Structure formats: C-alpha cells, structure tokens
Amino acid sequence: MTETVQSAAAPPAPAAAPRVGRTRDGIAERLAQDLRDGFVVNLGVGIPLEVPRFIPLGVEVILHAENGVLGMGPLAPPELADNDLTDAGKQPITLVSGAAIVDSATSFAIVRGGHLDVTILGALQVSEDGDLANWYVPGRNPAVGGAMDLVAGAREVWVAMEHVDRKGKPKLVSQCTMPLTGRNCVTRVYTDLAVFHFVDGRLRLRECAPGVTPELVRERTAADYIEELGDAADA
C-alpha cells in the first residue's frame, strides 16, 4: 500500500528518483479540497476511500453506496456491526443524519440519471481522451460491480491514483491497453504528482504537487496534454 514509483527492471521507467509528490493520503486530501457543500459522491476502493477523512469543515457531502445507501457514515465499530447495513464493499457501516435507503434499481437511477455529482475512482489507466480502465486485468477473475454505471452516469468522474504503476509505467496514456470501463468519461485526475482536468475533450495539467516540476510530470506521463498551470487554472 506504499507508493513505489521506481522499479528494478522495467525499461521505460524513469531512473530512480528521489521520492517526490504526495502520499496516498495526500492525494485524497488534495482531492477533498475540491468537493463542494451538498455534493452527492460515490467512492471507489483504494485512495478514494480515504477522501472522507479530509473533507473540509463546513462541507457536507452525501456519500452514496451502490447497494442503496445515501448518507453513509464511517465503518461501524464491531459492537454496532449489522449485516443489514453494509457498504458496497460489504463492510458494516453507520449512517449519518438525514440518511435514506433505496433499492438497487433506484440506487443506479441516481447514478445514471445524473443525480450523483461526482464519483471518485481508482484507475489502472486513463487515456488522453478520458477513457478509463479500472475494472479488469486480463487473465484475472472478471467482476465489474457498478464501475461501468458510475462512469457512464455521474456528472463528474474524478480519478485518484498514483501517477505511475508499480513497475514505474505511466498510467496516463495515449490509449488504454487494458479493458475499458468507459469511454470519454474521466473529468479530472488527481495523482501524487499533479492535478489534471479534462476540458473540451482535452487533458490539461492544472497543478503540480508541491516540489514537483512540470518537467517531471511530462517525463512520467504517456498522454498528450496541455500545460495550463497557474492563473489559467480554474475549476
């Protein structure tokens, strides 16, 4: 679960570099700053699950779980665990004030119907066209869950991921080589190195993490993008 941006053997990896950029928690913390009061949000596994801890005071976000929970709270302590109240990962959870329960068809009506402001997902790859691959590694056991509905339906799809994979290969690519979850669906990418927005179908570098240079981002990114740092950046 710790980041490893360098690798011993992978040829296209950058040379062993000093550790720079955000930690996994740092990615979650940066992303959480962009959530707005009243947003309805669905979280994928991995870094996205860390986001709620960093939501700023005064910002109330409604967490949606695919199995029909609106207003999900933190995981339940063992003495309150109830098999009738779980998240989409089947862990016992709590509810926050004002929570509501719906069936699975209504839950995905919320997703597909554009009533979800943002879904925050991990990724295997994101392409420069906004394609996302995050559900299946060929050769492994296929299972899709709600991933394809989320990327097809949410108003915004924000990816929270490490900039390169464990072998040091860029995960922002010109074209995904892994099976797609959805096409042209990603709207933002938050990594340990940078923040990208898709605007008008083009990937744009909006921020570098503290201590990270645009050159380093360029070096570790295999996708075409526009550099739009500083004053040009606007959410």
Task: Please report, as ranges, the residues that interact with other proteins according to CB under 8 A.
Answer: 37-38, 40, 58, 60, 62, 64-71, 73, 79-86, 90, 92, 94-95, 97-116, 136, 141-149, 152-153, 179-183
Smallest gap from Cβ 11 to other proteins, in A, equals 28
In whole angstroms, what is the distance from residue 83 CA to residue 124 CA?
A: 31
Non-local CB neighbours of 138 within 8 Å, separated by 6+ positions: 178, 179
| Residues designated as active site | 66
- When the beta carbons of 181 and 191 are compared against other proteins, the nearer one is 181
Between residues 180 and 222, which has the closer beta carbon with respect to other proteins? 180
Main-chain dihedrals φ then ψ at residue 114, nearest 5 degrees:
80, 20
- Nearest distance in Å: CB 70, other proteins: 5
In the complex, minimum distance from the CB of residue 120 to other proteins, in angstroms, rounded to a whole number: 16
Given the complex with other proteins, which of 61 and 164 has the nearer CB atom?
61
Q: How far is the CB of 67 from other proteins (least distance, A)?
A: 5
- Shortest CB 111 distance to other proteins, Å: 6
SS3 sequence, the chain? CCCCCCCCCCCCCCCCCCCCCCCHHHHHHHHHCCCCCCCEEEECCCHHHHHHHHCCCCCCCEEEECCCEEEEEEECCHHHCCCCCECCCCCEEEEEEEEEECCHHHHHHHHHCCCCCEEEECCCEEECCCCEECCCCCCCCCCCCCHHHHHHHCCEEEEECCCECCCCCECEECCCCCCCCECCCCCEEECCCEEEEEECCEEEEEEECCCCCHHHHHHCCECCCEECCHHHCCC
Nearer to other proteins, 143 or 235 (CB): 143
How far is residue 53's CA from residue 40's CA, in Å, rounded to a whole number?
Answer: 16
